[in-house]
Amino acid sequence: MGIYIAGTGLFTPNESISNEELVKSYNAYADLFNQQNKEAIEKGDLEELTYSSADFIYKASGIESRYVLSKEGILDPQRMKPKFKKRKDNEPSIQAEIAIKASKEALKNANIEIDQVDGLICACSNLQRAYPAVSIEVQQELGIQGYAYDMNVACSSATFGMQNAVNDIKAGVAETILVVNPEICTAHLNFKDRDGHFIFGDVCTAVVITKVNDSSTENFEVIDTKLKTSFSNNIRNNFGFISKNEDLDLYSDDQLFKQEGRKVFKQVVPMVEELIANHLKENNLLVSDIKRLWLHQANLSMNSLIAKRLLGRDPNEDEMPTVLNRYANTSSAGSIIAFHKYSEDFRKGDLGVICSFGAGYSVGSIIVQKT
């Protein structure tokens, strides 16, 4: 029995922020901070904040801009975080709203009707509430029968969710499952942290996984999936339902995304290379059989190095498409955006690998072949 990716969907926010705009607001915040804390800085009790640089951001990450759901709030030097209006319990939540948009596009591209969908998995790095599950809200809004659940494996949520969908279909409990990734990354990013304020953007992707091989759509068969995790504190976010019981300042840096970027780079590259290499081997495939790597989008040099180590030479853009220049890191959605935007040229039989990696550490590899 074949299992297919029948269609993908992408919701991109209307607003975007360039590196230059982001740096301008950070530098204004730094000036304010230094002014307000002049005495403490002079006494040596506090460190003066130094300016961020658009050139540094581009050189260190490959990021040029990012799409965001709340530009004004992020760029306000007095605020430095997105601003969302509190919605009533009977209004659609913001995460469900973007998930619905991406899901509808994926279903349309897959030529799949709502009544054919048996389940929905909302897989992403951050969920806006504990319960009821965001996925069940999306399920209700779309009118899907069956079951829905939320899951989180940080930047690998999408690929882990896709493996769950494939396994449920193999097990016979579903024929078609929608996996949706509403990544509102700016809400957990510390825009006051010069080392990381440029990293993330907002987006939502959706993927329809099905055993229905409809000849009217151009599917990708899922050849195999492989996951790997290994605990690390180098990417961490301590915010959780226990935080307020620990009498913590919920606005402190500790309650936002933090990472040891250099360590992540060094440790994750070999992990990803090894997982993809082993995955291909187990499926009797050579790296040269693979037309394209749709990699997680966090850092351009990191992706180039992974591809280079696998290929034994520098990759070209066609073998390793990049979206992080415009989208920045969109957590688990990144490799799916790359797949969504750069898979139309595939011909029957062409093979590719969708690969995520990030916090956990977690890595997910999905080998697909155009039908």
Active-site annotation, residues: 155
Based on CB atoms, which residue is closest to ligand COA, 321 or 360?
360
302 counts as binding ligand COA under rule CB under 6 A: yes
Based on CB atoms, which residue is closest to ligand COA, 346 or 357?
357
Residue 365 token pair: 């590899």
How many whole angstroms separate alpha carbon 146 and alpha carbon 140? 10
Residue 175 token pair: 């024929």
126 counts as binding ligand COA under rule CB under 6 A: no
Based on CB atoms, which residue is closest to ligand COA, 59 or 170?
59
How many helices and strands, by DSSP H and E, does the chain display? 11, 13
- Taking only Cα atoms into account, the Rg of the chain, rounded to an integer number of angstroms, comes to 21
Q: Are 259 and 236 in contact (CB under 8 A)?
A: yes
Based on CB atoms, which residue is closest to ligand COA, 26 or 339?
26
28 counts as binding ligand COA under rule CB under 6 A: no
324 counts as binding ligand COA under rule CB under 6 A: no
Which residues between 245 and 264 bind ligand COA (CB under 6 A)? 259, 261-262, 264
194 counts as binding ligand COA under rule CB under 6 A: yes
Q: Are 238 and 245 in contact (CB under 8 A)?
A: no
358 counts as binding ligand COA under rule CB under 6 A: yes
Based on CB atoms, which residue is closest to ligand COA, 201 or 261?
261
Question: Total number of residues binding ligand COA (CB under 6 A)?
Answer: 21
Q: Are 330 and 200 in contact (CB under 8 A)?
A: yes
Residue count (the chain):
371
| Minimum distance from residue 299 beta carbon to ligand COA (Å) | 3
End-to-end Cα spacing for the chain: 14
How many whole angstroms separate alpha carbon 141 and alpha carbon 94? 13
| Minimum distance from residue 355 beta carbon to ligand COA (Å) | 13
Strands (E), 12-124: 15-18, 65-68, 119-123
Instruction: Give the residues lining the site for ligand COA (CB under 6 A).
Output: 52-53, 56-57, 60-61, 155, 194-195, 235, 259, 261-262, 264-265, 298-299, 302, 329, 358-359
